[in-house]
């Protein structure tokens, strides 16, 4: 099954998914062929696929499989255990640009990656070969798939399996983990609402979700975690660690050059550059500002030009850090606000929720995330 999913020819991958989708959507289809391996491999297909249409087809197949299991009376927790769900979330929450851990994949056959090597760029997270938007789409669809899985999970086991996982991700300090946990929560609520509508349960306005009888032991702690995240205006994000390390490395090069040109002593350079654990953007601003103005005057003409180029490299890294921080704050806050809107229990003061969504509508770089924020604004208007 998997070699066809990850075949080098896109048409083969598309045909394999379409074939299984046909079986899964048969009105009187049998769910006996759907097992844990099938679910894990389809989910991995969502994470790995680069082409948008095949990625969407994988997401459709995932949802069709969950519905087929539901019609067949097969409990999702009979096929997937808690550790499986945790591994699936960790795979989706791997920092963008960091190699996807092989240990989180289910039974990867060597032929799928060695002979065809269709997933080399996505596995390596090589953003020079794959568009960042494709990576974001894959992660968002994977988080949505987990939310749909939560809706298919037995009611009595939902809180034990998912609450700790999602709440911990929201409070982890990683923007991506918080964002994906929020999307999973939002998609769970939407899937739950759809199931209730299909069974004829009165739910009031489907846009608002005002009358959906959702389980409080599941949503109450998640809503609390979401609200806590939204109330922090400018959080410290671990996603920025690599960008901050690059700023420090460039500062180190600048100061080493100043020492080599006898503009600073080694002791003075060490005093200006804190250790990695204590380094901050404030230290970089000081090095490029007052400190540079002081020691650059001691350099000769050519040396001063060279030091100016080194400072320009530092300021470029600082600008990237600032842009990335802004981007992560916008995306995370919008995803958290969207989940709160989906739950339908808005805080008494709406400024934080509305501001987060409208900022994403105006500033979000990802079209997919911008569209999700706009949809949340529409749902919020119906509350």
pLDDT score recorded for residue 214: 53
Per-residue pLDDT of the chain (383 residues; tens, 9 = 90+): 667 888 889 999 999 999 999 999 998 888 889 988 899 999 999 999 999 999 999 999 999 999 999 888 888 878 888 889 999 999 999 999 999 998 898 865 554 444 457 888 999 999 999 999 999 999 999 999 999 999 999 888 888 899 999 999 999 999 999 999 999 999 999 998 887 776 665 555 544 444 445 556 788 899 999 999 999 988 889 999 999 999 999 999 999 999 999 999 999 999 999 988 899 999 999 999 999 999 999 998 899 999 999 999 999 999 999 999 999 999 999 999 999 999 988 888 899 999 999 999 999 999 999 999 999 999 998 87
**Sign of the C-alpha dihedral, residues 60, 61, 67, 71?**
positive
Prediction pTM value: 0.91
Structural contact between residues 311 and 272, judged by C-beta atoms closer than 8 angstroms: no
DSSP 149-205: HHHHS-GGGHIIIIIHHHHHHHTSS-HHHHHHHHHHHHHHHHHHHHHHHHTT---S-
Cα–Cα distance, 377 to 379 (Å, whole number): 5
Structural contact between residues 144 and 300, judged by C-beta atoms closer than 8 angstroms: no
Structural contact between residues 206 and 192, judged by C-beta atoms closer than 8 angstroms: no
pLDDT score recorded for residue 212: 47
* Residue owning tokens 């989708």: 21
* Residue owning tokens 């759907």: 34
Q: Which two tokens stand for residue 260?
A: 């080599």
Class of residue 82 by CB neighbours under 10 A (exposed 0-12, middle 13-18, buried 19+)? middle
């Amino acid at each position: 099954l998997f070699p066809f999913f990850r075949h080098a020819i896109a048409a083969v991958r598309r045909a394999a998914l379409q074939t299984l989708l046909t079986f899964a959507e048969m009105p009187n289809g049998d769910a006996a062929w759907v097992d844990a391996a099938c679910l894990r491999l389809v989910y991995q297909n969502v994470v790995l696929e680069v082409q948008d249409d095949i990625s969407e087809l994988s997401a459709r197949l995932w949802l069709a499989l969950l519905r087929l299991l539901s019609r067949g009376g097969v409990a999702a927790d009979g096929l997937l255990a808690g550790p499986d769900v945790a591994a699936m979330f960790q795979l989706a929450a791997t920092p963008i640009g960091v190699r996807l851990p092989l240990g989180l994949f289910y039974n990867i056959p060597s032929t799928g990656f060695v002979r065809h090597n269709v997933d080399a760029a996505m596995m390596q997270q090589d953003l020079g070969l794959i568009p960042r938007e494709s990576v974001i789409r894959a992660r968002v669809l994977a988080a949505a798939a987990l939310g749909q899985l939560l809706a298919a999970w037995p009611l009595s086991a939902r809180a034990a399996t998912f609450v700790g996982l999602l709440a911990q991700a929201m409070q982890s300090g990683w923007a991506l983990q918080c964002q994906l946990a929020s999307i999973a929560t939002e998609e769970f609520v939407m899937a739950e609402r759809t199931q209730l509508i299909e069974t004829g349960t009165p739910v009031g306005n489907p846009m608002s979700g005002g009358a959906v009888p959702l389980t409080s032991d599941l949503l109450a702690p998640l809503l609390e975690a979401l609200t806590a995240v939204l109330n922090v205006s400018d959080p410290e994000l671990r996603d920025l660690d690599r960008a901050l390390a690059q700023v420090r490395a460039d500062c180190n090069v600048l100061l080493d050059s100043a020492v080599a040109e006898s503009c600073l002593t080694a002791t003075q350079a060490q005093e200006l550059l804190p250790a990695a654990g204590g380094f901050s953007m404030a230290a970089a601003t000081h090095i490029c500002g007052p400190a540079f103005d002081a020691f650059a005057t001691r350099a000769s003409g050519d040396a001063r030009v060279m030091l100016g180029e080194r400072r320009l490299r530092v300021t470029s890294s600082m600008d990237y850090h600032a842009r990335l921080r802004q981007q992560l704050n916008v995306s995370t806050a919008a995803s958290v606000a969207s989940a709160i809107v989906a739950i339908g229990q808005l805080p008494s003061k709406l400024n934080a929720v509305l501001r987060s969504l409208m900022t994403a509508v105006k500033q979000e770089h990802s079209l997919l995330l911008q569209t999700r924020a706009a949809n949340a604004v529409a749902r919020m208007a119906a509350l």
